[in-house]
Amino acid sequence: MHIEPGIVHGAKMALACATAAGAAGYTSKLALADVKSHGATALALRSAFATVGTFVFFEVLPHFAVGVSEVHFILGTTLLLLLGTAPAAIGLMAGLLIQGLFFAPTDLPMYLVNLTTLLVPLFAIAALARKVVPAGTAYVDLTYGQALKLSTAYQGGVVAWVAFWVLYGQGAGADTLASLLAFGTAYMAVVVIEPVADLAVLALAKAYRSNLHGPLVQPRVFHAA
């Protein structure tokens, strides 16, 4: 979902600054609530795990350019379910920044655009999870259908934000629309794979439950709300 440099530029970047600032501000609010609930050590540890995970997802796992952007296995739902919303958001912010600073500096001009594209859908699926997953269900007991709903929502949100930024920055020309269609089609294929990854990680957590305690994962992984 790395939008190509130049898609949004000039005065239009002011909107990206505003949306990214809003996302960062909401992340700060979630982080403070997380510290009150679970402590600063837990937040720092889970955020570090999320940062490493984000970097691996973007830089190490297969990714390829399609149309106006790149297709990545972001695994945002995996981060959220395992670590919590605030650590996942912090990890996405930090991991994306580290990748841009040290491995893909050409992506830095689009950092705020890409940050919004990642975080807003994350916040949306955090709210959706409260409706999709019954309060009496621990995350290690999720079904494929529940994981699919969350992954579809997240990937759909990413595609929708990419489409918005491209149309906002470049207009609705025939070539732009064709590139968007190619990107969206390729990206939604990830939806088939990501729920499997979510369930695989949760299954591993369930199998090694005795080793994953304290601040390593969020309490909802093993316990009902």
CATH number of 10-221: 1.10.1760.20
List, for residues 75-134, the tens digit of each pLDDT value. 899 999 999 999 999 999 999 999 889 988 988 999 999 999 999 999 999 999 999 999
Q: Give the residue extent of every domain in the chain.
A: 10-221
Return the amino acid letter for 66: V
- The reported pLDDT for the residue numbered 212 is 66
Spatial separation of the C-alpha atoms in residues 15 and 102, rounded to whole Å: 26
3-state secondary structure of 64: strand
Per residue of the chain (225 residues), what is the pLDDT tens digit? 678 888 999 999 999 999 999 999 999 999 999 999 999 999 999 999 999 999 998 888 887 777 777 777 888 999 999 999 999 999 999 999 998 899 889 889 999 999 999 999 999 999 999 999 998 899 988 888 898 889 889 988 998 999 999 999 998 888 889 888 888 888 777 777 888 888 888 888 888 776 666 688 898 998 877
Q: Terminus-to-terminus CA distance in the chain, angstroms?
A: 32
Is residue 25 within 8 Å of 195, Cβ to Cβ? no
Is residue 20 within 8 Å of 112, Cβ to Cβ? yes
Report in angstroms the alpha-carbon separations of 178 from 117, 129, 172, 181, 197.
Answer: 20, 33, 10, 5, 30
Rg (CA), the chain: 17
Return the amino acid letter for 131: K
| Residue (of 109, 154, 124) closest to 16 by Cα position | 109
Instruction: For residue 217, give the DSSP letter.
Output: S
Q: What is the dihedral of CA 61, 217, 152, 22, to 10 degrees?
A: -90
- The reported pLDDT for the residue numbered 129 is 94
- The reported pLDDT for the residue numbered 211 is 67
Is residue 218 within 8 Å of 47, Cβ to Cβ? no
